[in-house]
Structure 1
Amino acid sequence: MTASGIADRAVEILAARERARFLEQNPKSVTLAERARHSLFGGVPMHWMSDWSTPCPLFVSRAQGARFYDVDGHEYLDFCLGDTGSMFGHSPAPIARAIAEQGANGLTTMLPGEDAVVAGERLAERFGLPYWQVATTATDANRFVLRWARAITGRNTLLVFDGCYHGTVDDTLVRFKEGRTVHRPGLLGQARNLAKYSRAIPFNDLQALEAALAQGDVAAVLCEPAMTNIGMVLPDPGYHQRLRELTRQYGTLLIIDETHTISTGPGGCTRAWNLQPDFITLGKPIAGGVPCSVYGCTAEMAQAMQIVRQHAGEHGEVHGHSGMGTTLSANALAMHCMRANLEEVMTEQAYAHMLPLAARLAEGFRRLIDKHGLAWSVTELGARCEFQFCAKPPRTGAEAEAAFHDHLQQTLHLYLINRGILITPFHNMTLCCPDTRTEDVDRLTDTLDQALGELLALPGARIA
């Protein structure tokens, strides 16, 4: 097999070298990995933590700003940043201060404080939607909004895009294959047929979009403004405008999931691209890395939510279990950190630093691709960018997936890790934070240049 003009045999030679190097220079991680096998399933606290490119898990001792340190004492430039959870750097000073302040003043009470009011006001100013609710994860926020959408519209079907990412919401774990909706590969323990009330279509396909909506049964479209987890896929010009027109035409609500695309700017793509959603959801980075998520809605949706709550209660009273919310939702610690994050961390000034660095990184990737004569491309979205193993940026999730070459990708990632640089696993995405420096960006491109040079210098590496 070949991928992107590079022979698999050459990739394996470089990978073998890098695996040996990792094991040699990380003895404490190796020891911890062996110890962990006896108490943690797969040797890690969450099973996907063993899916990185390293031959055993890399154990972290601490993280600060755009850097983290492993148990063997190595320093790393971090362009993964907790896959957006630490989008504004690890432990920003205002978040560390907020944690210490609230730690002495109660962590959770099931009652609101002033922080909640201020956070709601800041969110409304930032995104333009007047009403907000707080949950714990983006998965929860998406689940809860989907319940509201079904209750408001009286419809059951959810429309998503093939290759989408909305956390672990069951209804979204579907793919579009051979003209029909099927369960996502690898899905475990699902007892019901998700395709009964979920419909997947290709991104950027307006004909498929209108055909799906015209059936008249779609409660909501749940949409990332740009796809970010199957490889970055940007919308075609005018796509979102037509999406909004069609959802309104067919009585379908529009939910915009900004959890990853908040990298675009302080108001995400919603503000930058004037998306006009009925609901917006946002998770990981909203409280500076402390578990927290939010969802916002228009005044019209808030009124409709109140009506369906009254209808669901007994004798017209608003009470009962809606199936939304958990005991730790909107806890005092999360609210205090979210307020600090919105006011002091997630600022216009932060983005003014991040965005030019990401643009510099994207341009650096393009220079490397041209220098080495590779049929690859680069996609940018605000503070994040990605190099992809295809000649043109993909337009659909299927095209992005077709460009994957897991072995090549993991080998390049391992090469970077062995030289103190981390990028997002599972694809080639990078993220710049307010603590990222120009020299950090240049070191990443220089090190990737070195990796490609060594790889392509191997006998028979380049395939015509």
Structure 2
Amino acid sequence: MSTDFEADGIDRSRLRRLLARERAAFVDRNPRSAAAYAGAAHLFGRVPMTWMNKNAAGFPVYVDRARGARLTDIDGNEYVDFCLGDTGAMAGHSPAPVTAAVTRRLADLGGATTMLPTEEAAPVGAELARRFGLPAWSFTLTATDANRWAIRLLRAVTGRPRILVNSYCYHGSVDESLIVVGPDGRPRSRPGNVGAPCDVTTTSRVAEFNDLDGLARELAHGDVAAVLMEPALTNIGIVLPEPGYLDGVRALTRQHGTYLINDETHTFSAGPGGATAAWGLTPDVVTIGKAIGGGIPVGAYGLCAELAAALNGRADLDLVDMGGVGGTLAGNPVSIAATRATLQEVLTDDAFAGMIDVATGFADGIGAIIDRYGLPWSVSQLGARVEYRFAAPAPRTGTESAARADAVLEDYLHVYLANRGILMTPFHNMALMCPQTTGEDVARHHEVFADALGELVD
């Protein structure tokens, strides 16, 4: 974390004073949210899910309603929402086709969960196959579950015990993914890992993103069933692949008899078929979740034809009952109906084109503001997703990205923006566009962002 005034042009004493001012203003602006948080003693962490405690002001705002790219809290404050449920609402909040599909399923047809298929599932599988190029699909409730099941399948088909991931990757709460490269270059458990069932270095190997030599060294052990990776790192800040890197990963995995899983849960922002389609990638498995359900919980995994055939030919594997995927509610009629409506009517090819165009305007405008104030920052874009980074050039590995985090500066920007009606993804400076995000929304962010920097730097 930068603490030197000369290093980044920011007076840290001023930064702390401004942050204290903005936090006080946040309390004054949100009395009902503050009271709701204080009164939630019977919730672990005072929130329905502990991630909601990741906020810059000491307590979260409480939602009253949300539509499209707008959210209103219980104090009546309206926000332009660039967080969008950390990708879960990339289709916008409560898009009309999804609302209609879910209402029809629940109110008209009934049967929220039946442990029986509906006819809607096959068209969803066909649409995912069209977009990502993999022919065989199955459903879960989360991308975490999809990743867990994919790992089990690939261990079974290869007979190999280990999974390789990138340092500071994000694949939900998958135990095997919570491994990083330590300062000494050796693998270790990611700081903060909760209740690991065993030392993660016994189940996993790790290599830095954009490091083909490191990947080759780890795969040479011959015990890696699968490389599980995001085509671009996202949850440690956007880290984009360097030219030739992803082709090199594919060549090395084939050379060493290792399967390749693309986790597209966040990189879905790259286009209708995620980075897999946008960049012409050929993984053996794709996992995805969040956004494809339009806000309704769903995850999915797709298998290449060779892998699906190999698994179906294994009579020794109980793929029906005790295989380990779990999730009685997976593939339920409501989530399938929501996913069909999202893919066919909301997150369409045309919608992505518009979202990416708006995101490009966001990125260009942010770059101009950063240049105006002479800050050593950078901007990274991944389709409909944009992030400004406290580093220039942008970090090329997860470890580099983690090292450039600046919690105080992030908190100041987030609270300043929130106090003026702009919500960003709370754990870094990431903005996501949905089909309803407008150029006016982007201009409003840029106006407030420039004001925040003006108070800090001028």
Shift of 1:426: 1.1
What amino acid is aligned across from residue 128 of structure 2 in structure 1?
L
2:160 to 142, 155, 161: 155
Deviation readout 1:26-81 (Å, 9 max, x if unpaired)? 11111112111x22122211122122012322111011000000001011000000
By how many angstroms is 1:193 displaced?
0.9
CA distance in 2, matches of 1:400, 1:126: 30
**What CA distance in whole angstroms lies between the structure 2 residues aligned with 1:289 and 1:58?**
19
Matched, 1:351 2:352: yes
In 1, the alpha carbon distance for the partners of 2:12 and 2:66 equals 35
Give the Å deviation of 1:349: 1.4
Unaligned regions of 5+ residues in structure 1, if any?
A: 458-464
Q: Deviations over 1:212-239 (max 9, x none)?
A: 1111111000010000000110001011
Q: How far apart are residue 319 of structure 1 and its match?
A: 5.5
Q: Supply the distance in 2 between the matched residues of 1:143 and 1:51 (Cα, whole angstroms).
A: 25
Does structure 2 retain, via aligned residues, the 8 Å contact 1:22–1:55? no
Instruction: Decide which moves more: 254-263 or 5-14.
Output: 5-14
1:405 aligns with 2:406: yes
Pairs within 5 Å for 1:6-45: 6-36=10-40, 38-45=41-48
The SS at the match of 1:215 is coil
- Cα deviation for residue 400 of structure 1 reads 0.8
2:317 is equivalent to residue 312 of structure 1: yes
Provide the rounded CA distance (Å) in 2 between the counterparts of 1:136 and 1:320: 17
Q: Which of 205, 213, 216 in structure 2 is aligned with 1:210?
A: 216
The alignment of Structure 1 onto Structure 2 pairs a total of residues equal to 451
Residue deviations 1:265-310, cap 9 Å, x none? 10111111111010000011111110001100111000111123x1
After superposition, what is the alpha-carbon deviation per residue over 1:186-234, rounded to whole angstroms, capped at 9, x for unaligned? 1122231111020111110111011111111110000100000001100
CA distance in 2 between partners of 1:126 and 1:55 (Å): 41
Distance in 1 of aligned mates of 2:292 and 2:374: 40
Which of 103, 113, 120 is the equivalent residue of 1:100?
A: 103
Aligned 8 A contact 2:79 2:422 in 1:
yes
Shift of 1:240: 0.7
Secondary structure at the counterpart of residue 173 of structure 2: coil
SS in 2 for 1:311: coil
2:289 and 2:300 in contact (8 A); partners too: yes
Give CA-to-partner distance per residue, 1:412-459, whole Å, 9 cap, x none: 1000000000011111111011100101001101100000001123xx
Structure 2 Cα separation of the partners of residues 214 and 274 of structure 1 = 26
Q: Of residues 22, 35, 46 in structure 1, which corresponds to 2:49? A: 46
1:128 maps to which residue? 133
CA displacement, residues 81-101 of structure 1 (integer Å, 9 cap, x when unaligned): 000000010000001101110
Give the structure 1 partner of residue 275 of structure 2. 269
Which whole-Å CA distance do the structure 1 matches of 2:93 and 2:243 have between them?
35
Q: Which amino acid aligns with 1:39?
A: H
2:87 corresponds to: 84
The 5 A counterparts of 1:212-361 are: 212-308=218-314, 310-312=315-317, 320-361=321-362
- Structure 1 letter corresponding to 2:341: A
Decide whether the 8 Å contact of 2:91 with 2:342 is kept in 1: no
**Counterpart residue type for residue 21 of structure 2:** R
Provide structure 2 residue ranges, at least 5 long, that are not aligned to the other structure: none
Task: Name the CA distance, whole Å, in 2 between partners of 1:92 and 1:319.
Answer: 34
- 8 Å CA contact 1:4–1:390 kept in 2: the answer is no
2:195, 2:431 → 1: CA distance? 32
Distance 1:4 1:258 in 2: 34
Instruction: Specify the SS of the correspondent of 1:323.
Output: coil
- 1:376: which partner in 2? 377
**In the aligned structure 2, how far is the partner of 1:271 from the partner of 1:382?**
12
Please point out which of 175, 179, 184 is paired with 1:174.
179
- Aligned residue for 1:237, secondary structure, equals coil
Equivalent residue for 1:73, pick from 76, 79, 86: 76
Provide closer, same or farther for how the CA distance between residues 35 and 249 of structure 1 changes in structure 2, counting only shifts above 3 A: same
1:124-156 CA-to-partner distances (Å, cap 9, x unmatched) read: 111111110100000000000000010011101
Aligned residues of 1:135 and 1:293 also touching (Cα < 8 A): yes
1:268, 1:47 → 2: CA distance? 28
Write the letter of the residue equivalent to 2:296. Answer: V
Q: For residue 430 of structure 2, what is the aligned residue in structure 1?
A: 429
Aligned residues: percent identity? 51
Q: Matches of 2:47 and 2:11 in 1, distance apart?
A: 33
Shift of 1:5: 2.7
Q: Is this contact kept in 1: 2:269–2:382, CA < 8 A? A: yes
**How many Å separate the matches in 2 of 1:370 and 1:319?**
57
The correspondence for 2:192, drawn from 169, 186, 191, is 186
Q: By how many angstroms is 1:7 displaced?
A: 2.7
CA distance in 2, matches of 1:403, 1:368: 20
Partner of 1:146: 151
Distance 2:343 2:99 in 1: 14
- The CA deviation at 1:320 is 4.7
Check conservation: 2:144, 2:174, Cα contact below 8 A.
yes
**After alignment, is 23-32 or 353-362 more displaced?**
23-32
TM-score normalized by the length of structure 1 = 0.95
Residue 443 of structure 2 aligns with which residue?
442
Q: Give the drift of 1:381.
A: 0.5
Runs of 4+ in 1 over 2 A off after TM superposition: 1-5
Q: d(CA) in 2 for partners of 1:312 and 1:392?
A: 48
Which amino acid counterpart does residue 278 of structure 2 have in structure 1? A
2: CA distance, partners of 1:56 / 1:137: 26
Letter in 2 for 1:133: S
Give the TM-score taking structure 2 as reference length. 0.97
